[in-house]
Every structure is written in C-alpha cells, then in structure tokens.
Homo-oligomer: A and B are copies of this chain.
Amino acid sequence: MFQDSSAETIETSMQEAWQAFLIYRKLPLKQRAGFMRTIAKEIEKLGHGLIRVAMHETNLPEARLRNERARTIFQLNSYAEFCESGQWMDIRIDTAILDKTPPKPDIRKTMVPLGPVVVFGASNFPFAYSTAGGDTACAFAAGCPVIVKAHPAHAQTSEMVASAIHKAAADSYMPKGIFTHVHGAAVWVGEALVKHPLTKAVGFTGSFTGGKQLFDWGNQRAEPIPVFAEMGSVNPVFLLPGKIKSDAVSIAKQYAASITLGVGQFCTNPGIIVGIDNEDLHIFMEALSAEIKIITPAPMLHAGIYKNYVEKRATALSQNEVTEIAVAEQQASFNEGTATIAATSAGNFISNHLLQQEVFGPYSIVVRCADMNEMIQVADQIEGQLTCTLMATEMDVEQNSRLVESLQNKCGRFILNGVPTGVEVCLSMQHGGPFPATTDSRFTSVGGDGIRRFTRPLSYQNWPDALLPDELRNDNPLQLWRTVNNELTKDAII
C-alpha cells in the first residue's frame, strides 16, 4: 500500500507543474514527440517485471496485459507522430487587406496548451488508460505537464510506469514538474487536485459516479475548467429482422465472446441487446445461452469491482419482469465474475430506467420488442452512449431509417455488423458520446483529436513574421497544411 500524498506534496507538485508548463509549452513539437517516444521505450524496458506486478494487482491474464502494454507503446508513438505533424494546430491565416475600410489586419490562429492536466488512472486499463495512457499522451502532445493520480487498485504498476516517465523526462532534459505521480485512495486527494487553481484540465476514464463528481468539482471552481470524463456506457445492440433471420447463431457466438471479453470489464461492453420477439430471436437467445453457460468464470479486476458486479447484477435480475436466461454453469470462486444473460420486454425496459444502467462485468440484457415500432421506442429511450451497434442487412438499414436516425443521435461511434468492444487508436476514432457516456460529446479520449481537449486557439493579430511562432510564419518552415485566406495549402505566403 502506498500512502496518500499529502496536501503539501500536492501544492509543491502543482507549483512545479506550472513552472514546467512555462518551459514545456515553448518546446518544439519534435522535442515533445521525442519525449513521448522515450517514455514508450522506457516502458518497454520495464520488461516482464511490469507485467508480473500488473498481473498481481489486476488479476488480468498475462496475454491481455502484454497486448495492452503493446497498445500503450503504440499509442505513445502514434500520438508522438501526430503531435509532430502539427495538423492538430488547425492553422488559420488571413492576411491583411490594407485598402479595406477599416483596414483588415493580418490574423493568424494556432493552438496553445491549457496548462497542467490532472489525469485519473482507470482501473480496467492499468496501462492504456492509466499512468502513461491516452490522456497523458494527449496532454504531453498538447504541451501540458501531467499530474497522474494512480488508481489505488494498481498503485504499484502505476509507480513502475511513473518511474519510466521520470526516467524519460530526465533523459530528454524535460523541466522538473513535467510529470508528477500522486497516490490517493482518499477522496480529498482527487478533490484537491481538481480544485487546485493551477490545474487547467482533467482527464478521467471510469465510473459515472466518479466522473460526474470530478466534472462537478471542475465546474464549481472559481475558475471552471474542462473535465473530460469518459464514464462508460451500455452500448446497445439492435438486431434487425433481415440480419438475424440469416445469421442468428453466428451473431450469438460473436456476442457471447464480446460480452465476456476481459470478464466484461470494458466501457464498450455490449450491455443491451434489442431484438424483435420472434423465432429468429429465440434461436439467437438459445445459441447465446449455450455459449454463456460454458464460459469459465474468471477473476475480476479487484474486490470493489467484483462486489459492484454482484450487487448490480442482483439488482437488475430482481426487477419486475426480468428473467434470467443463462448463467455460466461452472461455480465461480470469490472475485470471479459469472457471465449472465437476462431478458425483459420492451415495455418493461422503457418503464424501468434502472435497466439502462451499466452492470460493469459479463452481463447483458436482451430486450424483446413486439415490432419495429417498439424497437424505435426503445432506441428513443436510450441515454447517450459511446457506441450503438446495428446488426442489419443493407435492406434492413434502408427500411428502418427512423431507427437509424434515432441511434445516430445517441452515440459517438455507430457500428454496423460488428461488436463494440475493440477501440482502434486512429484519427477516425470517436471515443466519446452524449452524456452520460462522457461529460462533453464534442471531444474524444482516443485518437489524435484527443489532443484538442487540452488546447485552445490563440490568434496573433498584426505580428511581424520574425516574431511569430514557426507554425504561423510566412515560409511555413514546418511544412504544415494551413488554411490561408480560406484555402487549404502548404504553400509559403508571399
């Protein structure tokens, strides 16, 4: 166990982070990118020791952790590349028109970092969404120092990754305070970090309760700050008649795997499956049940998550008109999540809001609709989601535009004939969505555009070329695509 950081340590860290900000924000993009790549290398160097500690702390299997570490390294390198490309600065230049009345001045807009960013490690991704995860990488790319609050469930793993970042920072001659690692099992630590006047933004991945609390703290400050909290989702899946008719069994197999992947501990886990109550759905449920019954129970991340799963599953199953359809048959030990499928009617689902709440773990509820009209009613009733999925033929999609439109309004990522689990790290990825999936649907926490959470535009008006930052200079030394007088170009300005 690590002791919570003291109020004095937090104060000193924030002061140092601010001083680091004043230096780091001026460093060339190449240097920021170099630092991020060095972090990736240092994490790699931690070797099997890191995996062993993470296995012990998180109960996650070795293969999964190795994959997640590889992904984290890939992320750092890919955000470094994107940082260096400078495209995220969205350069806009309008040159002067001096013979206008009044004369139009030269204005050039770039992006500048917000300031120190506090990142909260996620329990379910000890590497990829934690200490050196996506939020940290985005903040470094943006030009912001980072203060990470380690997730108490994998504090030692976090310490090791933090040591890699510190090593990389020293080797890259980064200013003191560029990165701070803080422990805090107690609530006041998170509150002190979010409310510190020198904190300028917050990144979080985790529960609704946790994320909403940080969001409220951020807004209650004398100077409110942006808090991007990704708070999970139930990721509803809609089975359309044409598709399910032809494919019920293979869809069931695909979904049994997705629901139970990583003991269901993903924010993109499909928690609601909506279908028309007919023979095809019956076949689907039979096949899904058969798969679920033979799932081997596996340990969950930690006792808190296990307890939560047991309780929330029990609450969901105890609701009126909710039937248990299938439960993994092998006896689960303490801490192991038992895969479970429930079912209910659309009417009951619509009238009981509790059934929409996330049961974090290998659980999903099938919602049986009388017809497409009822399916649309279910869709209209759904809260904001990270993802929505349609299992549908092209004809299904064409014939059900009203449903399609309803779901477009609800999610950040709209999947056709796939599973929501598996989040690619690429520029086209939107990992965000309307509240309560996140606190601000206009941003993403995965992919290069995640940098935008931590930057703001700054326009220079009437500055001579020699005094402008590189990205705004006439000769375009960084060779960026820039919008000059409303035209996208790489050309120099003459």
Contacts and interface: CB of A to CB of B under 8 A. Distances in A.
Interface in A389-425: 394, 397-398, 405, 408-409, 411-418, 422, 424
Interface in A435-468: 435-436, 439-442, 444, 447, 449, 452-453, 455-464, 466-467
A208 interface: no
Nearest to A90: B449
A85 B449 CA distance: 21
B459 A22 contact: no
A447 B225 CA distance: 23
A464 B467 CA distance: 49
Stoichiometry (number of copies): 2
Nearest to A427: B92
A105 interface: yes
Contacts of A434: 223, 456
A333 interface: no
Which has the most chain B C-beta neighbours within 10 Å: A405, A452, A459?
Answer: A459
Contact of A455 (B102, B442, B461): B442
Contacts of A405: 22, 26
A93 B426 CA distance: 9
B441 A114 contact: yes
Interface stretch (A280-288, A295-303, A319-327, A481-489): A481-489
B94 A416 contact: no
A344 interface: no
A429 B394 contact: no
A90 B226 CA distance: 22
A413 B461 contact: yes
Given A107-B424, A223-B435, A462 B418 contact: yes
Contacts of A447: 92
Given A444-B457, A466-B394, A428 B216 contact: no
Contacts of A457: 412, 430, 432, 442, 444, 449
A54 to B, nearest CB: 22
A224 interface: yes
A87 interface: yes
Interface string A69-109: 00000000000000001010010111000000010110111
16 contacts: A92-B427, A108-B428, A109-B430, A112-B408, A219-B219, A223-B436, A225-B435, A397-B467, A412-B457, A416-B467, A417-B462, A427-B483, A442-B453, A442-B455, A444-B457, A449-B457
Which 8 residue pairs are nearest across A and B when measured between Cβ atoms?
A: A430-B459, A92-B428, A107-B428, A441-B456, A430-B457, A94-B428, A415-B461, A413-B459
Given A94-B426, A114-B441, A414-B459, 7 more contacts: A92-B428, A102-B422, A215-B219, A412-B459, A416-B460, A430-B457, A442-B453
